[in-house]
Amino acid sequence: MQVRALIYFDEVVRARSLRAAAERLNVAPTALSRQIDQLEHYFGTPLLERSARGIRLTAAGELLAERAGRTLRELDNVRQLIDDLEGLKRGRVVIHASGAVVASLLAPALADFSSRFPGIRFEIAATSARQSVEALVSAEADIAVTLFSEPHPGTKVRLKAEIVYELVAASDHPLAALAEVSVAELARHPLALPDRGFGARQAFDALFAAAGLPLDPVFVTGSLEMLKELVLSGVAVTLLPAFTVQRECRLGQLVARPLVEGRALKTPLTLSVATERQLPFAATKLLDHIDRFLRESFTRAGSSG
Supply the CATH number for residue 18's domain.
Answer: 1.10.10.10
How high is the pLDDT of residue 203? 83
65 and 148 inside one domain: no
Instruction: For residue range 52-76, list pLDDT tens digits in order.
Output: 777 888 888 888 888 877 777 777 7
Please, which residues have CB within 8 angstroms of residue 263's CB and are 6 or more apart in sequence? 164, 166, 305
152 and 297 inside one domain: yes
pLDDT at 266 over 60: yes
57 and 180 inside one domain: no
Share the mean pLDDT of the chain: 85
Domains identified in the chain, total number: 3
206 and 244 inside one domain: yes
12 and 73 inside one domain: yes
Q: Which CATH number covers residue 243?
A: 3.40.190.290
Q: Which CATH number covers residue 134?
A: 3.40.190.10
Exposure of 135 by Cβ count < 10 A (0-12 exposed, 13-18 middle, 19+ buried)? Answer: buried
294 and 212 inside one domain: no
Instruction: For residue range 9-50, list pLDDT tens digits in order.
Output: 888 888 888 888 888 888 888 888 888 888 888 888 888 888
The pTM score is 0.62
How high is the pLDDT of residue 230? 95
241 and 177 inside one domain: yes
**Bigger pLDDT: 55 or 94?**
94
pLDDT at 303 over 60: no
How high is the pLDDT of residue 301? 57
CA 167, 170, 175, 181: dihedral to nearest 10 degrees? Answer: 10
How high is the pLDDT of residue 43? 86
How high is the pLDDT of residue 305? 47
153 and 271 inside one domain: yes
Instruction: For residue range 290-302, list pLDDT tens digits in order.
Output: 999 888 877 665 5
CA 240, 241, 245, 247: dihedral to nearest 10 degrees? Answer: 180
Residues forming beta bridges with residue 213, ordered by sequence position: none
Nearest alpha carbon to residue 141 among 126, 153, 152, 159: 126
259 and 176 inside one domain: yes
140 and 271 inside one domain: yes
How high is the pLDDT of residue 253? 95
159 and 171 inside one domain: no
Alpha helices in 120-218, H assignment, sequence order: 129-137, 183-187, 199-210
Q: State the residue range of the domain holding 254.
A: 166-264
Last-in-domain residue among 20, 46, 81? 81
Question: How large is the average pLDDT for residues 245-272?
Answer: 85
185 and 215 inside one domain: yes
